[in-house]
Amino acid sequence: MSTIVQRVASGVAVLALAFATVAGTELPAGADTAQPATPISVLPQGGSAALTVDALNVQAAPARVSPDVAVKKKKKSSKGAKALAFAKRQLGDRYRYGGTGPSAWDCSGLTRGAWKHAGKKIPRTSQGQSRYGKKITKSQLKKGDLVFFYSGKSHVGIYAGKGKVIHASRPGKPVASIKMTYMPYAGARRPA
């Protein structure tokens, strides 16, 4: 009889291990799968009493969901946010007429470099950029949008939020973040 009890107990332990594997959980390190901790004779017999994992003295491990099954919503970074992040890393770089990086920029070189980093190729000059992408109003501005200044849209910066832009302004001035109100607004575009 004890051989039958051992085989049944081993079978239950194997089923528990198989169930744990299918469910994505593991048995605790101390769980003995060869011998039951509670003799079968003590377990509930017949009737409506159910055989439980606790009755076998097997502790259920906390459920773990594998990364490929987990449904996590990562906040997807927009192209505009990526362009802005690039522009922020250039703060303090020097201005150079015609500069396209990596350590010296002019206004449209900086905006083009930022959007290239975000995966979008835009025209080289501020005038070309002013005709590219979706035209937006000042009230629609989002981080990363291109903001144009002066007549002829001769200057461009990257919208940084809260009424500020990051731009490369002129010789002797490094790439900086300033309030948009310091320059005459001429329009805005969203490349992506």
Residue 65 lies in a domain: no
What span, in angstroms and rounded, lies between the C-alpha atoms of 13 and 116?
58
Average pLDDT of each block of 10 consecutive residues along the chain (192 residues)? Answer: 61 56 50 52 50 49 52 69 98 97 97 98 98 97 98 97 97 97 98 94
- Of the residues 82, 112, 167, 189, only one is catalytic, namely 167
Query: Does residue 129 lie in a domain region?
Result: yes
CB-based contact 170:95 (threshold 8 Å): yes
- Within 8 A by CB and 6+ apart from 120, the residues are 79, 83, 191, 192
86 in the same domain as 19: no
94 assigned to some structural domain: yes
82, 120, 155, 189: the active-site residue: 155
What is the model's pLDDT at position 56? 47
Is 26 a domain residue? Answer: yes
| Residues 41 and 1: beta-carbon distance below 8 Å | no
What pLDDT score does 62 carry? 52
Distance of alpha carbon 160 from alpha carbon 19, whole angstroms? 53
Residue 18 near residue 26, CB atoms below 8 Å: no
* Strand (E) or helix (H) holding 187: strand 185-190
Q: Are residues 83 and 52 in the same domain?
A: no
For residue 104, being part of any structural domain is answered with yes
Secondary structure percentages of the chain, helix, strand, coil, to 5: 35, 15, 50
Residues 133 and 172 in one domain: yes
**Active-site annotation holds for 104:** no
Residues 101 and 186 in one domain: yes
pLDDT for the residue 77: 77
137 and 182 assigned to the same domain: yes
Q: How many angstroms separate the CA atoms of 122 and 129, rounded?
A: 7
Number of domains in the chain: 2
Residue 107 and residue 45 share a domain: no
Asked which of 41, 56, 71 is the last residue of a domain, the reply is 56
Q: Among 11, 41, 56, where does a domain finish?
A: 56
Residues 47 and 122 in one domain: no
Residue 22 lies in a domain: yes
Q: Considering 107, 122, 147, 156, which one is annotated as catalytic? A: 107
Kindly report the backbone phi and psi dihedral angles of residue 160, in degrees, each rounded to the nearest multiple of 5, phi listed first: -110, 0
155 is catalytic: yes
Same domain, 52 and 89: no
One domain, residues 91 and 31:
no
Q: Are residues 96 and 15 in the same domain?
A: no
State yes or no: is 18 an active-site residue.
no
In a domain, 24, yes or no: yes
Do residues 102 and 166 share a domain? yes
In a domain, 71, yes or no: no
Range of the domain at 173: 79-190
